[in-house]
Structure 1
């Protein structure tokens, strides 16, 4: 199996873990020194938060029921022991206490390193664009 396929499979497995709420599976892919820039504050997340399954479980528990998660237009580039990936992702869920689900599309960039024969995430960045019209609100109504 090519390294390209292995990286793609890892990201597909992570998307499935998001849909099933498998916090242990999600954090297992991060290197101990991984840095993430997620949709939620603060600006930067590092260990131990990034590698803590309890933090992910708490996040999953903030939704009533499960969440829908889709990854679209995944591009993977592998060069030696480094891989760079980007995709457009959709998430939909009902926050605890809410009556309706929210749905948003966001951008994802993932950088991986091949360590001891396994691909692991070194950096992950998710973001939404914002309107530059003076409103500066997140552009949550965009779809691919």
Structure 2
């Protein structure tokens, strides 16, 4: 395996931990891939969530609503340069809510910024967004990749 392929595999493994942590509703697993000072621009207010505790609190709110959680990531594309990398993909959170209602969720755009810290790739920034319809002033949540 080439050095670039090994780095990409390591990054994909870290992002895979996010998916695993969501599916198992395990905040300890979710903590692993993020840097302690992660800055997240998520779809929920406020405009930014700063630090791992804020990021995990955001995921904990998901677990308060969902009995069963699934997360799908499509078309993850990575660019790696030295000790920094970025990636982008389409993601969809779905599952069964605690009230018994199943939801297929919505597709969002996800961007990751990563940095190799002490030899381990960590997510230092993520951004989740939906397209915006400028005429209606609302997010468009029914698109699919």
User: Paired residue for 1:143?
Assistant: 144
User: Paired residue for 2:62?
Assistant: 59
User: Paired residue for 2:75?
Assistant: 73
TM-score (normalizing by structure 1):
0.87
Distance 2:49 2:76 in 1: 23
- Pick from 32, 36, 46 the counterpart of residue 50 of structure 2: 46
Distance 1:68 1:48 in 2: 21
More helix by share: 2
Distance 2:104 2:48 in 1: 24
TM-score (normalizing by structure 2):
0.86
The 3-state SS of whatever aligns with 1:50 is helix
Which contiguous aligned blocks of 4+ residues in structure 1 show a shift greater than 4 angstroms? Answer: none
Shift in alpha-carbon separation, 1:55–1:139, aligned structure 2, 3 A: closer
Report the RMSD for the aligned CA atoms in angstroms. Answer: 1.9
User: Paired residue for 1:127?
Assistant: 129
Post-superposition Cα deviations, 1:73-131, rounded to whole Å, max 9, x if no partner, equal 00011100001011001111344446342510001001111011111111110111121
Asked if the contact 1:32/1:51 (under 8 Å) is kept, the reply is: no
Structure 2 gaps, min length 5: none
